[in-house]
Structure 1
């Protein structure tokens, strides 16, 4: 506390374990500065964070997984959850089966025996969130398509009106109400 000389500290390492469904390399780096707004290409920032990401899906970084039983077990457990979710439509049953299968095969056995209910609730919450987000995206795409179609109809109506086509014909041709066509004509 009272020293005037530099106190050395261990070099920090920031690590993320990736077990998502996407195909990714064994290892890659992420820079926090990639998310900064207004950063010019090549511009250096006073502080950045570099994170090393390791893919822990089955078949990736096996040497690392062999050294850590819990991490390996987690990787296998997540894979089992995905496997059962593909074959069993009822998520609750699929997740329970994955938990029971892992306990039976001594994969995270003690942890899952103690926390099976919490793990099940977490899985159900996570999968419901993913489904809700997928539904929301689909709704957004639908709204975007509808908005695009309406924009196209308005553009087509303007072009037809500019060519001197009657208001009634334009309304029928592009599927707009007469009020909208009249306002476009003005």
Structure 2
């Protein structure tokens, strides 16, 4: 939302790329409308100086980002070359792509890291024939200070989201977001944006927080399920050993301090 404004987007691009462009009209935004893959929307894609930049905001880490960007890039280039003669003898030029993920999740991540498409290949090749590199930047408070200094809007965004998270620890998320918005407007943090888009910003913040919380809970549940499965497999191994020694279900239950029904069920699964 914030960086859909060309002036702020150019500020961000300059900070990330080290360039010093001044005219926002040089940007040609070509974001895919309603482009959703695996519940992730392509946030921003734009052209400047014959380069295609694809920017994505993520609050959860995924090792599959390179593959998802490959899908985005394919769709964008298909649209750009729809009227070109791909079977002709003349080269069809395409912009050089660059991929950046702005990460602000709660899971600890380094300031910057490179995610490669080749890391997802089932067969590892010394020199992959198709490679993509995704730059993931941690834009949480306390990370990438040089980037934050170069793009004040990004610093303001980190300040706002940081407050939402802090306040949400002690009060309902809707109240936490409202408090963060009110304070930020009063203190001049994203003031113009929040005043103009207060309701939408609040709804998006609540949605993103709830989504992040849901994903975190799913991971915790999966981990707990894995723990339970591991304990059950360990118990099955113990049961097998005792069955091999001719022990009865009741004897095994007593020895392992488990209910007979539990031992009986696991014995059936083993048979």
TM-score category (smaller protein): 0.7 to 0.9
Quote the Cα distance in structure 1 between the aligned partners of 2:253 and 2:199.
Answer: 60
**What stretches of structure 2 of length at least 5 have no aligned partner?**
1-83
Contact 2:100 / 2:136 at 8 angstroms: preserved in 1?
A: yes
Report the CA distance between 1:181 and its aligned residue. 7.5
Contact 1:167 / 1:181 at 8 angstroms: preserved in 2?
A: no
Contact 1:74 / 1:108 at 8 angstroms: preserved in 2?
A: yes
Question: Cα RMSD (Å) of the superposition?
Answer: 3.2
Quote the Cα distance in structure 2 between the aligned partners of 1:131 and 1:114.
Answer: 27
> Which has the higher Rg, Structure 1 or Structure 2?
1
Question: SS in structure 1 opposite 2:124?
Answer: coil
Q: In structure 1, what is the equivalent of residue 202 of structure 2?
A: 120
Question: SS in structure 1 opposite 2:157?
Answer: helix
TM-score normalised by structure 1 residue count: 0.76
2:126 to 42, 54, 59: 42
Quote the Cα distance in structure 1 between the aligned partners of 2:119 and 2:110.
Answer: 19
Q: In structure 1, what is the equivalent of residue 28 of structure 2?
A: none
Report the CA distance between 1:130 and its aligned residue. 2.4
Q: In structure 2, what is the equivalent of residue 65 of structure 1?
A: 148
Quote the Cα distance in structure 2 between the aligned partners of 1:95 and 1:63.
Answer: 27
Q: In structure 1, what is the equivalent of residue 232 of structure 2?
A: 150
Aligned length: 183
Q: In structure 2, what is the equivalent of residue 129 of structure 1?
A: 211
Quote the Cα distance in structure 2 between the aligned partners of 1:48 and 1:133.
Answer: 29
Quote the Cα distance in structure 1 between the aligned partners of 2:176 and 2:131.
Answer: 42
In structure 2, relative to structure 1, the CA distance for the partners of 1:182 and 1:120 (3 Å cut) is closer
Quote the Cα distance in structure 2 between the aligned partners of 1:10 and 1:123.
Answer: 34
Contact 1:26 / 1:55 at 8 angstroms: preserved in 2?
A: yes
TM-score normalised by structure 2 residue count: 0.56
Report the CA distance between 1:126 and its aligned residue. 1.8
